[in-house]
Every structure is written in structure tokens, then in C-alpha cells.
Amino acid sequence: MSQQLDFTVGALLDDVAARFPDHEALVYVERGLRYSYREFNERCREVAKGLLALGIKKGDHLSIWAYNVPEWVVLQFATAKIGAVLVTVNTNYKSAELEYILKQSDSNTLFLVQSFKDTDYVATLNEVVPELAASTPGALKSAKLPFLKNVVFLGEGERPGMLGFEKLVQLGKTVPDAALAEVEASLDKHDVINMQYTSGTTGFPKGVMLTHFNVVNNGFNIGECMRFTEKDRLCIPVPFFHCFGCVLGVMACVTHGSTMVPVEVFDPLKVLTAIEQERCTAVHGVPTMFIAELEHPEFSRFDLSSLRTGIMAGSNCPIEVMRRVIRDMHASEITIAYGQTESSPVITQTRTDDPIELKVATVGRVLPNVELKIVDIETGAALPPGKQGELCTRGYLVMKGYYKMPDETAKAIDAEGWLHTGDLAVMDENGYCKITGRIKNMIIRGGENIYPREIEEFLYTHPKISDVQVYGVPDRKWGEQVMAAVVLKKGVELDEEEVREFCRGKIANYKIPRYVRFVESYPMTASGKIQKFKLREMAIRELQLAGEGA
């Protein structure tokens, strides 16, 4: 058993800043911004006092809608120092989704940037809250969002009805240090301080409530699996609004006094530049990010020899990509992590010295101080190694619950405290787990249970196939049919019949894809998870299967 940390998020930063005051905490290559841990802690304290001056209290909900700007990381700690709950809003959301999150979360404050990709955030917010432009900053009265009082703009210049971020910092100068200390002393490590909305693969997004204890300890154990110390420097190109950024990235660093080197918006060239310039020892990403870096035309001109480790997560990694990350990026100790937001988020992780076979075939073994079991889907009985069932976990990492959704919480966490992930898995005798599919993704064709992952693994062996996603589509006769969306390797051709011919005699006939379509890419969540439900919806439209039942 490794140690457990009893800090709140704010106290953790105080502790690290006292131990490594002059060590670099946060570096933004493009901005030329560098904070030592002492400076970073001071900045977080200034903003925390600004929030107090604004009237924010312990337990209040504050939303942030922004890509990886410096204010994001500062707010992660500033809000935690006063016990406010930071609600992270997906950067890809549009007006209806923004309205849903702000309303469902009861947020009284929203922090936002001007825009992201094709969305003007300020215009979008004004559409949702038409009263904003004419209101006095801090005194917003919205008909649709009665809780929302403050909007704080992250960026240069003024915006109607909004308070500028630097004005907030100025407000904090009126608050004595003793007032902040008093609030910090009143906090409990089991208080909720973070709320993330699950990538609604089914139904409406649910607000996952995470505590200081959840994220501090998960971050610590993630860092331990990578053997982080204060000498490590992590390039973080994954979004902060998702656990991959704010826990596997930020908390894994801060718990070890390591240096954070964020990339504001993913761009393979910027990642390679940051790694080289800052001599990063670690980098995070989903497989598609690593592929984009490796395939960048200028890849070979970068010196990545400082790299050692990092995390690849979000979806399974083809072995060829893993080989290149280890060989060409020098990340010989790269790790694979698996989990979900509800487990804050990592449940299992490979270790730095695991062989490559375990890094591509499994998602590692359970983190320290965490319990894991595989259970029979029908009976709930624990299964022995080698048997497929649902992966369940218990321990410090399990969320407090879904915000204002007690029934959904009860479905996810049973009476004995086990979180049911909804993922199908097999564990070997050494505790290494292989994720074999989602219970919900299971295809039932003529009474036969078909696990898409099994067919995907088989189709990966085809020399012309780069990537494949298998899912069920409705069928009047069989209930469901198997469909495969295939990404081909560059410069090759393949047709539907060749794919089916490749399967014949090698996998059961009922598993052979009835439909095959060739695609350039897949619809994804911002955290890099492929959205099979969208592939299914597209197929139903294209193949006109809407009247086929299921």
C-alpha cells in the first residue's frame, strides 16, 4: 500500500510551494510565461481573494468555458482554496449545451474566453443570456438562468456586462490574508470541489461530483505510476476541462512538484516545439494525438531525447504506434491509463517497466489503495481471472455522486460502495485488465451476444486497415446487424466484399460485418473518446434503417 494524501487541493499547493519554492510550476512556451511554485501559489491566492471579494462562498458553483489558458490552472486551485466547486464546460459545446450545464449545475459565475475554433463564446452566451449586455457586472438577472450572477471575461479588453479577470484580481487586494486563511481552515478534504459532465453517450450529461480527496490522491497515484519527481516536466496538450488534463496532467504534476507545460489548443507542431524547448520528460495524449505528432512532416527535426514517460489513454493504441512512441519519441516508459470521470478518473494504469505487449494489449493493473473486481453481468458474482464481466471499482477514487441525480447515482454505485463502470473486461492472473467492450455497446444479433472489441481486434490484423470501429445497427429480422467503420492506411484501396472475405472462416459468420463503410475519421468527444452512438446514428440515416426496429 502506498501512502494516501490528506490534503485539500489548496493545502497541497501550499505544501509543495513551501518545499519547492523556486522550482518551475507552470510554463507557457508561446506566452513566455513562467511561474515558480511560490509565484504560482501567490497568483492562486490573489485570485482566491478576488473570488471572496466577489461574494463567492464555500460550496458555490463556478463554471469555466475555456481552452487551456493560464487562468484555467490558476482557477483550479483558487476555487479549491475557498471551497468553491469548479464546473468544467466542454470547449466544443454550443448554446443549448451551455444553457443545460449552467442551469443543471446551478452555477452563479461563469468564466469564459472570447472564442474557440468555430464558436464565438461571447456571442453564444449573449444568445443564452440576452440580459447580459445591459447588466452591471456582478448583478446579472437572467430569466433562463436565475442562479447566474457573475460573468468574468478571460482575455484583453472589456466586454459588456462582464468583469475582466484582472479587475477580479484587483478586487482581491481589499481582502485580508486572514480572511482567506479562515476559509481554507474550514474546508474538509471530502468536500466536492470539481464537477465534470460526462460525455453524454446516453441521455443528458450528468454532473460528476469529485472531492479534494478524489483528485489529490488519484493525481498522486497516477504520478507514482510514471515515477514522477520534482525533476519531471510534463507537456499537457489534452484539454483541462476533462480529467485527462486537470487530474492526469495538473494534479499528477503538483503532487510531485513537477513542472506543467500546457499547450493551449492541440497542434502537433506546438507539442513538438514545447517538448524540445522545455526538455519535457513526459507528454500526454490520446492515440490520434501521438499519430499526428509522429506523422508531422517536420517530426524528424525535433530533439525529443528528453522524453521518458507520459500517458496514452482515451482509446486503445495500435502496436505500431506504441513502437514508434517508444523508439522515435524516446518515451520508453510511456504508460496506458484507463478509467472514467466517475472514478476521478484513473482505475488502472500500466507501469513504466511493463513490456510493450502489456501496454498495447491491456490497460494495466489497479492503482494503489484501490479495489477492483470483475463481476458476472447477470448475477453480480465476482469472476475468476480469464472470465469476462463488468469491471467494478471501490476506494478513495469513487465520486460523491451525480449532482441532483440520486437515482442515477444509485444505479452507478451499489450499496457496498462499488462503482459499476459499464465496461466489459477480463483480468489475468497478474491483475492486468483488458477492456473488451461496453455493456451498452454489446450487439445482440439473433440472440447471440457480440462484443465489438473482439471483431475490431481481428480486423486490426488486416494489412490495409489503419483503424476500425464496430457497432450494431437495427435489423428487422435479426434485431441488430454488425457494422464496421474502417479507416484505411494511406495509399491503399479496399472494398466491402474484401473485408468480409478476410473474415470468412476466421471468425463466426454471425460476427462478420453485414455493412462496411470507409471513413476518414470518427466523431469524437473532446477527450478523444470515439462516439459509437454517432456512428450508429449516421449509419441509420445513410442506410435508411430507421424503420428496422431497435
All domains in the chain, ordered by first residue? 32-197 (3.40.50.12780), 443-542 (3.30.300.30)
DSSP code for 380: -
pLDDT of 550 reads 45
Residues with Cβ within 8 Å of residue 393, at least 6 apart in sequence? 343, 347, 366, 370, 371, 372, 418, 419, 421
What confidence tens digit (pLDDT) does each residue in 383-415 have?
Answer: 999 999 999 999 999 999 999 999 999 999 999
Q: What percent of the chain has pLDDT over 70?
A: 98
CA distances for 39 relative to 23, 84, 253, angstroms: 10, 22, 16
Q: How far apart are CA 337 and CA 355, in angstroms?
A: 15
Report which residue type is found at 229.
Answer: T
What confidence tens digit (pLDDT) does each residue in 162-187 have?
Answer: 999 999 999 999 999 999 999 999 99
DSSP code for 97: H
* Residue 416 in this model has a pLDDT that exceeds 50: yes
* Residue 548 in this model has a pLDDT that exceeds 80: no
Q: How far apart are CA 267 and CA 330, in angstroms?
A: 20
Backbone angles phi, psi at 484, to 5 degrees: -125, 130
- When mean pLDDT is compared across 207-221, 223-237, 292-306, 525-539, the lowest value belongs to 525-539
- On the CB side of 147, CA atoms within 13 Å amount to 17
pLDDT of 199 reads 59
Q: pLDDT band at residue 193, thresholds of 50, 70 and 90?
A: very high
pTM: 0.88
Q: pLDDT band at residue 242, thresholds of 50, 70 and 90?
A: very high
Can you say how many angstroms the Cα of residue 356 is from the centroid of all Cα atoms in its chain?
Answer: 24
**Contact 114/123 with Cβ under 8 angstroms?**
no
CB burial class (10 A; 0-12, 13-18, 19+) of residue 148? buried
* Residue 202 in this model has a pLDDT that exceeds 50: no
Q: pLDDT band at residue 451, thresholds of 50, 70 and 90?
A: confident
Ordered alpha helix ranges (H), 196-282: 212-225, 243-245, 252-254, 268-278
**Contact 409/401 with Cβ under 8 angstroms?**
yes
Q: pLDDT band at residue 2, thresholds of 50, 70 and 90?
A: low
* Residue 419 in this model has a pLDDT that exceeds 60: yes
Output the average pLDDT for the chain: 94
Can you say how many angstroms the Cα of residue 284 is from the centroid of all Cα atoms in its chain?
Answer: 11
What confidence tens digit (pLDDT) does each residue in 114-171 have?
Answer: 999 989 999 999 999 999 999 999 999 999 999 999 999 999 999 999 999 999 999 9
Average pLDDT over residues 530-550: 83
pLDDT of 440 reads 77
Q: How far apart are CA 41 and CA 44, in angstroms?
A: 5
What phi-psi label fits residue 39: left (phi over 0), alpha (psi between -120 and 50 degrees) or beta?
Answer: alpha
Q: What number of other Cβ atoms are within 10 A of residue 12's Cβ?
A: 23
Q: Coil, strand or helix: which one is 411? A: helix
Higher-pLDDT residue of 328, 511: 328
Q: What share of the chain is helix, strand, coil (3-state, %, to 5)?
A: 30, 25, 45
